[in-house]
Amino acid sequence: MKLLRFGAKGKEKPGIVDSDGKVRDLSAHVTDIGGDLLRDEGLARIAALDLTSLPEVKVDRYGPCVAQVGKFICIGLNYSDHAAESGLQVPPEPVIFAKATSAICGPNDDIEMPRGSKATDWEVELGVVIGNGGKYIDEANALDHVAGYCLINDISERDFQNKRSGQWTKGKSADTFGPIGPWLVTRDEVPNPQDLSMYLEVNGKRMQDGSTKTMIYGVAFVVSYLSQFMSLQPGDIISTGTPPGVGMGIKPEPVYLKAGDKMELGIQGLGVQRQNVVQG
């Protein structure tokens, strides 16, 4: 299933894409796409619906594909070639940092450069949405705890991240720095999350062209690993890292976003995002 949220900011309704690619309104059956609905039993309830009986809607705006996100957890340097372009060693264990949930926005909403920003960067990433929560999860059945997957642009202000001391979180959490969607694609439609092509373009130029094949730590390992440090709960989102081609890694000089730039990014089977960059 491809689940989504549509409508004006703060007034989004739940929806689903039918077999003909039409968006259907789920609001008569569920209140939103998030929380306990993302457990197996909640998803099964949606799967049992006759989608042809649901109202068809024209989507003017896609909202974030998950509501009520409790934790937005990110994995850093999780592609060996991205670590190399960043001039950093492959970490012996996954690098974990947090992104503020207030950064979450719709997949095609404007990206706002924060005041004082000189190094706003892009990162196409595979997002993992937790369905069945848990802690101390075995890697062997970790994917059973995944509700589905989504496309994420992990927008980053590199000076805030690397030159302002302390945690990376301060360079990752500005408003609009976490566009997710357009869809939450349930795990049954993504049999192998480690074999998905991904790309990102800026002003029509291909900057990132990679695959989840080159992840250092795969989805199952990451879910299991995180659950050793914190409980994972329905609706939590894990952003799993980015392939090479970010602005920070361009030689001889980095290239960063500026107001007026346009981005397009996509992951195989998970849809496409298109964003304009504006000054916040």
Q: How many CB atoms lie within 10 A of CB 137?
A: 23
Residues in the chain: 280
The pLDDT score that the predictor gives to residue 186 is 98
> What pTM value is reported for the model?
0.96
| Segments of the chain with pLDDT less than 50 | none
Domain segments of the chain as ranges: 2-57, 72-279
Fold of 72-279: Fumarylacetoacetate hydrolase; domain 2 (3.90.850)
The pLDDT score that the predictor gives to residue 108 is 98
| Segments of 59-110 assigned E as strands | 72-76, 95-98, 104-105
CA distance 130 to 264: 26
The pLDDT score that the predictor gives to residue 115 is 95
Q: Give the number of C-alpha atoms closer than 13 A to the C-alpha of residue 261, restricted to the C-beta side.
A: 19
Two tokens, residue 242 = 């980015």
Q: H-helix or E-strand containing 43? A: helix 40-47
Distances in Å between the Cα of 231 and the Cα atoms of 33, 70, 134, 141, 219 are 20, 11, 6, 16, 16
Q: What is the pLDDT of residues 228-244, one digit of tens each?
A: 999 999 999 999 999 99
The pLDDT score that the predictor gives to residue 128 is 98
Distances in Å between the Cα of 78 and the Cα atoms of 101, 130, 156, 216, 231 are 21, 19, 16, 5, 21
Q: What is the pLDDT of residues 217-230, one digit of tens each?
A: 999 999 999 999 99
